[in-house]
Amino acid sequence: FMDGVVLGGGVGLSAHGSHRVVTERSSLGLPETGIGFIPDVGGTWLLSRAPGELGTYLGLTAGSVGAGDAIALGLADRYLPSGQLEQLATALEATPADEAIAAVTAAAPESKLLAQREWIDVAFSAATVTEIVRRLRSLATDEAQSVADQVAAKSPTALAVTLESLRRARGLRDLEAVLIQEFRVSVRAMA
């Protein structure tokens, strides 16, 4: 269950699981660029496989998403109202996980990011962070300007390395290869 705030390593531990359930209280994020680092613990694997450029958006802004967006981005699979967590826990004692989860989950809230995907894809498909910010600034919406400000406030090095890591992760064969890449980048960053 990803019930409440799930950030960084918490996303890495839970979003690679076989049964990924979120609630209305869920807030998932990979805030690493906000601290001058890059998404790790398989975060670049998850973000690079999100629809369009939504993963790039989340990785570079270091933002958080709720249940509907978490499912849309591929960080979770099912939605469960938090009031039913105890019922699910009890059901799991005697019922296989797939059946127990299917019996109590509900339709997820709509994804706000999917509704904004058009302009996010346009801006975040750029090859460099500088071009991403330029594209955001050229969009005549308050939302795009706010996102440009968020990105511009982050470490330029962390942003550039995160963007390159995400682009490379798309072409890597599996999670193991991505974890090796993240380890090498992390060790280099520490040096």
Q: 112-124: per-residue pLDDT in tens? A: 999 999 999 999 9
Residues 6+ apart with CB under 8 A from 13: 41
Q: 63-114: per-residue pLDDT in tens? A: 999 999 999 999 999 999 999 999 999 999 999 999 999 998 899 999 999 9
Q: How would you classify the pairing of strands 5-7 and 27-29?
A: parallel
Residues 47 and 63: beta-carbon distance below 8 Å: no
Angle at 7 between CA 147 and CA 91, to 5 degrees: 125
pTM score, two decimals? Answer: 0.92
Look over the chain and give the mean of its residue pLDDT values, rounded to a whole number: 95
Position of tokens 């979003």? 15
Largest CA distance in the chain: 56
DSSP string, 16-53: TSSS-EE-TT-EEE-GGGGGT----TTHHHHHHTSSTT
* pLDDT value at 126 more than 90: yes
Position of tokens 């004692």? 93
* pLDDT value at 153 more than 90: yes
pLDDT at 1: 87
Residues 6+ apart with CB under 8 A from 50: 58, 72, 73, 74
pLDDT at 68: 97
Instruction: Give the pLDDT band (50/70/90) at residue 7.
Output: very high
3-state secondary structure of 35: helix
pLDDT at 88: 93
Residues 6+ apart with CB under 8 A from 74: 46, 49, 50, 51
Other beta carbons less than 10 A from residue 44's beta carbon: 30
